[in-house]
Amino acid sequence: IVGSPPPRRSPANLTVEVDSVVVAGQVFYSHTANPPTFLTIVSESVRAQPVSASGIVHTPSSIPSCYCCDCPPRRLCCISLPPTTTVHPSLLVMVAQTDVSGLIQNSKAAQMLNGSLLPRQSANGTCPDKPAALLQLNEATTAVVLDAEGRDVVALAAVLRYAPMQAYCVLAEVDEQLQRKTGRIEPVANSMWCDAAGGEHIGMKFALDDTKKDLRLQPMFVQAHIRPESRVPLEHMIDAVTEKALGIKNLELKKNTTVDLYEGTYDSNVWRDRIGFCVTDRCDYAELTVASDALRKQLANIDISEVKVQPLGADTMQQMVEYDHAVSQLNREEYLSFLTSLKGIVGAVAYDSADQVTGYALALGTNLLQCYAETESAAAALVCHMSKAVGQSMTLNTAVDSFLGVQLASIATKRRAIQRFHTRAVPSQVKWEKVFVLNIGTHLL
């Protein structure tokens, strides 16, 4: 096919749809094929070539520049490759293969999930189809910022959309050397970093630029609301992921994003004044680390005689999902399915004297991820039960003035204050009185 639009063909059971003129040697990526497939235009035929386990695809030596890289979703995306190039089917996979441990190691989400934030490669060099990482969920949107040369990851941001107009900021990490630097961004095109699958992931390049446009003679509206082209990486990323996840229609009026930040680790001038997280939560939160023996001793005076706790299993999974929906008023089935599929996850469901579900809890490693209950007695029973499963100490996130916050404050061996901010309002659909432990870092609750 040279110099004219190609007809539809089905090599390897694949339908080719290309809207522009192509020439021999161009390579197209099909994100609808299974497994991921690259199509190379060769003379008068279309050659379908699956991505190998190692990610190596051999292409013709003569490849022209790509001139249609802005392809719509669910179509074939045109990319340019050198004669022998390492390629990957997803932007997230590229990030997973890059050493970003220095960026994310201090993030709350990475600590809570014990390495299940980004996808991991299996032994054969591929990533599993089933979401094995938080950022692989359908609700996740990620922004990856590269340096000016497009080689190294210098910043990462991600949000989890838990409702049509609401999202939670999971990740917002920037290289220390660039945190206060201003610069311009441009989309990544014709690159392995481009998300060829057309998913909810954004690739950008960041180039330093400290030029400040003088707006003093512009109308007041322009001075107050115009977005400078040169901004710090955090501003670029958060704007990109929230607009991608929630859209831009009525973004400031109806749509809300929440973020949790360790006290003393953030610049309020950036988060509040520049990005717009101007609503402070009504509660103060804290991350508490408590010795398991001391925790059980502290809660021994709570009457839990009418509470029965059973380990989470296949027979109690649906009950947990239904109770979670009753508390959160959200459809979190995919999120809960991801959590319960993690290696090392343990859970428990509490019942009252009438065998009605009265709460549940999940823990991973030494972290008590979440605990929701109808009563303080049920919460105490669940926390004591989980403390026996996690080991000698347990870390949990709770409101400072809540039942557990008050009970455990005096025996905590470590305490870190957490500040929660919102862009518009405190989410009101959640039954907060039933939330005793929050999964801060990965979700709203």
User: Is 251 found in the same domain as 145?
Assistant: yes
CA 370 – CA 404 distance, rounded (Å):
12
Question: Taking the CA atoms of the chain, what radius of gyration do you get in angstroms?
Answer: 25
Number of domains in the chain: 3
User: Is 69 found in the same domain as 106?
Assistant: no
User: Is 193 found in the same domain as 101?
Assistant: yes
The residues near 442 (Cβ < 8 Å, ≥ 6 apart) are 108, 109, 112, 113, 134, 160, 168, 170, 369
Full domain range(s) for residue 81:
11-86
User: Is 197 found in the same domain as 153?
Assistant: yes
Distance set, CA 166 to CA 142, 281, 295, 439 (Å): 16, 15, 35, 17
User: Is 251 found in the same domain as 199?
Assistant: yes
**Boundary of a domain, candidates 52, 86, 120:** 86
User: Is 223 found in the same domain as 201?
Assistant: yes
Give the pLDDT score at 173. 92
285-307 pLDDT, tens digit each = 999 999 999 999 999 999 999 99
User: Is 318 found in the same domain as 237?
Assistant: no
User: Is 222 found in the same domain as 99?
Assistant: yes
Give the pLDDT score at 98. 63
Residue among 245, 195, 218, 205 at smallest CA distance from 95: 195
Residue 51, by phi and psi: left (phi above 0), alpha (psi -120 to 50) or beta?
Answer: beta
CA 287 – CA 390 distance, rounded (Å):
16
Buried b (16+ CB within 10 A) or exposed e, 46-78: bebeebeeebebebbeebeebebbebeeeebbb
Residue among 284, 292, 259 at smallest CA distance from 395: 292
User: Is 420 found in the same domain as 293?
Assistant: yes
Beta-bridge mates of residue 57:
85
pLDDT in tens, the chain (445 residues): 334 444 433 333 333 333 333 333 444 444 444 444 444 433 333 344 443 333 333 333 333 333 233 333 323 333 333 333 333 345 665 666 566 777 888 889 988 998 788 876 554 444 455 567 898 888 999 888 888 887 788 899 999 999 989 999 999 999 988 888 999 988 876 455 554 434 477 888 888 887 777 777 878 877 767 777 888 999 999 999 998 999 888 777 778 999 999 998 888 888 998 898 999 999 999 999 999 999 999 999 999 999 999 999 989 999 999 999 999 999 999 999 999 999 999 999 999 999 999 999 999 999 999 999 999 999 999 999 999 999 899 999 999 999 999 999 999 999 999 999 999 999 999 999 999 999 999 999 9
List the structure tokens of 237: 């990323």
User: Is 101 found in the same domain as 79?
Assistant: no
Give the pLDDT score at 424. 92
**Boundary of a domain, candidates 207, 242, 259:** 259
Whether pTM > 0.85 for this model: the answer is no
**Boundary of a domain, candidates 86, 102, 134:** 86
